[in-house]
Structure 1
Amino acid sequence: MANDAAPNAPVKTHTVVIVGGGAAGISVAASLHKRDHTLDIAIVEPATKHHYQPGWTMVGGGVFRPEVTSKPMAEVMPRFVTWYQQPAASVDQDQNRVVLADGKALEYDALVLAPGLELNWGGVEGLEQALGQNGVTSNYREGMASYTWEMVKKLKQGRALFSQPPMPIKCAGAPQKAMYLSADYWLKHEVLKDVDVQFHNAGAVLFGVPDYVPALQSYIDRYGIDVKFQSNLVAVNGAAQKATFRVTDADGRTEDRETGFDMLHAVPPQRAPALIRESTLANEGGWLNLEDDTLRHKNYANIFGLGDASGTGNAKTAAAVRKQAPVVAENLLSTLRNEPLKAAYLGYGSCPLTVENGRIVLAEFGYGGVLQPSFPQWLNDGTQATRAAWWLKAKQLPTLYWHGMLKGHEWLAKPAQR
């Protein structure tokens, strides 16, 4: 999507331009600044609020208050960066320019693309219009997790549907987390026996890394959840409280089936922003075309990427960003100095699967599903549901996010070496 700025548009120059001021953009800015205080860094980010999105699941389960999951963007934007509070309209990678929505152009020596991903609400017919009423909710929508919790408390009998779209999505465990926390509440309040809980998963397995499936299956059994694989939500009629799923059989044939509900927790399909997917920066799937280990673009030596827009084969989680940011920082600086790239990202991602209020299966894994535990087994066995993992998720991770990761404190995030 190479687009030149208008010929007379003002041009500003920075050593590093970062597109995106979410977890990835701010973390990598902090990691760069930590290594070289002299860098001239700019961040392009239009939002006025910064969200701690891993907390939304906890809001939906009645664990966190909504207000603890966001802060004004001005409070978390580093003071050492120049902040352009508007969208990036296009990238002209051949001219080393980012064109802003107002037509201004930013020239860079190195570019970091961290725009996050796009929730494609329109990918499910009728879903966006149905949200927030008639029992239709989604923890993926800003402000909607409170409605999830309201519906969970209200439901005493009936059918509760939880959907998971085709991969890739951000935090692949989040659709299940919402379901487990809801079922745990219904169990403890002695109404679960009167609630038909169904999990409609567009995929063919409960979780992509087999080591964690036995622990999750034990909770599926405990709650009596009816799991339906290769069942993809394609339409919602909120007023009629009916959901349509496209079911694929073993021979690849598809059939649309309509199911009534009293509560529906829906997760939309997801994709990279148009800035990436409609450009030559994307791979065949529409995601940012990066080298798996260096996180450098495969075709442009001075462009790096991290976070949810990336086409690397890791889980799209904030924990992945925590490991990616130091790798990008070190390799970007090596590029500016004409030195070989030494830092490597091994695909680490973490998914704290909240299977009940008080216990979590802390899934930590890298490329190819290889387990990458942060703690010794005696402290926390990640393949089992533990209270230690709950304590980490509920009590420690929000503080580590706001005051650690976004400030360039690289806790347990030292890059591997190539």
Structure 2
Amino acid sequence: MSHNIVIIGGGAGGIATAASLLKRDASLNISIIEPQNEHYYQPGWTMVGGGIFSQAETARSMQSLIPSGATWLQASVSSFQPEQNQVTLDNGDTINYDILVVSPGLQLDWGKVAGLEETLGKNGVTSNYRYDLAPYTWELVQNLKAGTALFTQPPMPIKCAGAPQKAMYLSGSHWAKTGVLNDINISFYNAGPGLFGVADYIPALMEYVKKYRASLEFSHNLIAVDGDKKIATFAGKDADGNDVTVEREFDMLHVCPPQSAPDFIKASPLANEAGWLDVDQGSLQHSQHKNIFGVGDCTSTPNAKTAGAVRQQAPIVAENIVRLLNSKALLSCYGGYGSCPLTVEHGKIVLAEFSYGGKVTPTFPTWLLNGLVPTRLAWFLKAKVLPYVYFNRMLKGKEWLAEPKD
């Protein structure tokens, strides 16, 4: 089978890129390789875990989102043959391409935490990083009236680096409103050295850490969970920098799992030393194979892995593919934009927007929306506007605030 353009992945990056390509040239022969029947609006899972969205609001059938003019191949990729311009599917079929877009997202490595997989969804252990578990998060939050709640964050990189603490804030907000906060001990265990990677937003976040009386434990990585005994084990550092192992009992444990590039990318000739798809951070073109591009979480670009980043990347890749097909110079204009609406309480959000190097990059003027402080307007944007933009603009090639420029 041969196609002008083959796109690996039917998530945000794959579908948005296909739609933006067809917007530019409806005659293109595009196939999207995606094994799943469902497409998920993953930024909504934090809101499901906080009791704001229903689970069903975050799911659509894959078929309903495949752009008209693109072909959906329901399969998985097992290997790449870039010298032959081919990919091999899990059923053994070979697909030929002129241009390849790699956008399968990343993988959640639950198995890297001993005992975690066996206890997920029971014994008070949950995660908003899985569609089926986010409702359990909300169930635990509602039922906890006293005790210990732990929230964890693994080493970077991860998708939506703010999500682990968003779960903590929304839980604390509910416990404060229902009058049980004083009876609940909240701790945030972060494998990294600080609360958030962009320092400008930390002061506003620290106000909520204080409000919810949460303790912050940095350089502590979750390594094991005993669900039956309700004990979480962390590898950490003490005040003198010595390695320590810490055990904590819990009543509720919200886990953000370790994450990495998909195995089939790690094992491929397209990966860098760390296993990520090796692309130029401005053009998103592969460093060695000029007819291959990357979009989204699987790439080596040093930006935050968020849907906001994909919203900017997909049109740039689409534009560059059309330029490549017409022998024109490529754009190199992706500046590393990512966004993280930090849900600090029910009804308010700190809207973090930043680009490469942690530079604050707001979309709106500060007189309208100051992202450095919690606002109700940012909450409205997250709860009402962005889901609509995602399904009705971004995935349809309507590049709202994302049209690429030289």
The TM-score with structure 2 as length reference comes to 0.99
Q: Which runs of 5+ in 1 are unaligned?
A: 1-11
Name the residue aligned to 1:46: 35
Are 1:258 and 2:234 an aligned pair? no
Query: 2-side partners of 1:172 and 1:288: how far apart?
Result: 20
Name the residue aligned to 2:334: 345
* Paired residue type of 1:414: E
Shift of 1:250: 5.8
Q: CA contact under 8 A between 2:55 and 2:131: conserved in structure 1?
A: no
Name the residue aligned to 1:58: 47
Mapping of 1:9-88 within 5 angstroms? 12-88=1-77
Shift of 1:184: 0.4
Mapping of 1:2-401 within 5 angstroms? 12-249=1-238, 252-401=241-390
Query: 1-side partners of 2:359 and 2:8: how far apart?
Result: 31
The CA deviation string for residues 336-391 of structure 1, in whole angstroms up to 9 with x for no partner, is 22211124100000000000000000000000011111100011001110000000
Matched residue SS, 2:83: coil
Are 1:409 and 2:398 an aligned pair? yes
Matched residue SS, 2:247: strand
Name the residue aligned to 1:8: none
Name the residue aligned to 1:7: none
Q: CA contact under 8 A between 1:232 and 1:245: conserved in structure 2?
A: yes
Matched residue SS, 1:342: coil
Matched residue SS, 2:350: strand
Q: CA contact under 8 A between 1:25 and 1:43: conserved in structure 2?
A: yes
Q: CA contact under 8 A between 1:346 and 1:416: conserved in structure 2?
A: no
Q: CA contact under 8 A between 1:359 and 1:385: conserved in structure 2?
A: yes
Shift of 1:212: 0.4
Shift of 1:79: 2.5
* Paired residue type of 2:232: A
Query: 2-side partners of 1:124 and 1:238: how far apart?
Result: 12
Bigger shift: residues 263-272 or 79-88: 79-88
Query: 2-side partners of 1:337 and 1:38: how far apart?
Result: 14
The CA deviation string for residues 119-156 of structure 1, in whole angstroms up to 9 with x for no partner, is 00001001111111110000001210100000000000
Shift of 1:251: 5.7
User: Structure 1 residues 92 and 250, CA, compared in 2 at 3 Å: closer, same or farther?
Assistant: farther
User: Structure 1 residues 324 and 250, CA, compared in 2 at 3 Å: closer, same or farther?
Assistant: farther
The CA deviation string for residues 160-189 of structure 1, in whole angstroms up to 9 with x for no partner, is 000000000000000000000000000111
Shift of 1:278: 1.3
Query: 2-side partners of 1:86 and 1:175: how far apart?
Result: 31
User: Structure 1 residues 416 and 248, CA, compared in 2 at 3 Å: closer, same or farther?
Assistant: farther
Shift of 1:249: 3.8
Shift of 1:104: 1.1
Matched residue SS, 1:391: helix
* Paired residue type of 1:359: K
Query: 1-side partners of 2:43 and 2:64: how far apart?
Result: 19
Q: CA contact under 8 A between 2:46 and 2:163: conserved in structure 1?
A: yes
Shift of 1:414: 2.1
Q: CA contact under 8 A between 1:330 and 1:343: conserved in structure 2?
A: no
Query: 1-side partners of 2:173 and 2:151: how far apart?
Result: 14
Query: 2-side partners of 1:93 and 1:250: how far apart?
Result: 49
Q: CA contact under 8 A between 1:343 and 1:416: conserved in structure 2?
A: no
The CA deviation string for residues 22-50 of structure 1, in whole angstroms up to 9 with x for no partner, is 00000000000001111100100000000
Q: Which runs of 5+ in 2 are unaligned?
A: none
Matched residue SS, 2:360: coil
* Paired residue type of 2:78: A
Query: 2-side partners of 1:110 and 1:76: how far apart?
Result: 22
Matched residue SS, 1:75: helix
Give the % identical residues: 56
Q: CA contact under 8 A between 1:109 and 1:336: conserved in structure 2?
A: no
Bigger shift: residues 364-373 or 278-287: 278-287
Q: CA RMSD in A?
A: 0.9
Q: CA contact under 8 A between 1:180 and 1:355: conserved in structure 2?
A: yes
Matched residue SS, 2:129: coil
Bigger shift: residues 271-280 or 42-51: 271-280
Number of aligned positions between the proteins: 406
Query: 1-side partners of 2:287 and 2:238: how far apart?
Result: 37
Query: 1-side partners of 2:331 and 2:53: how far apart?
Result: 40
Matched residue SS, 1:385: coil
Matched residue SS, 2:391: helix
* Paired residue type of 2:219: Q
Q: CA contact under 8 A between 2:172 and 2:212: conserved in structure 1?
A: yes
Query: 2-side partners of 1:402 and 1:326: how far apart?
Result: 15
The CA deviation string for residues 277-317 of structure 1, in whole angstroms up to 9 with x for no partner, is 11121111111111000000001100000111011000000
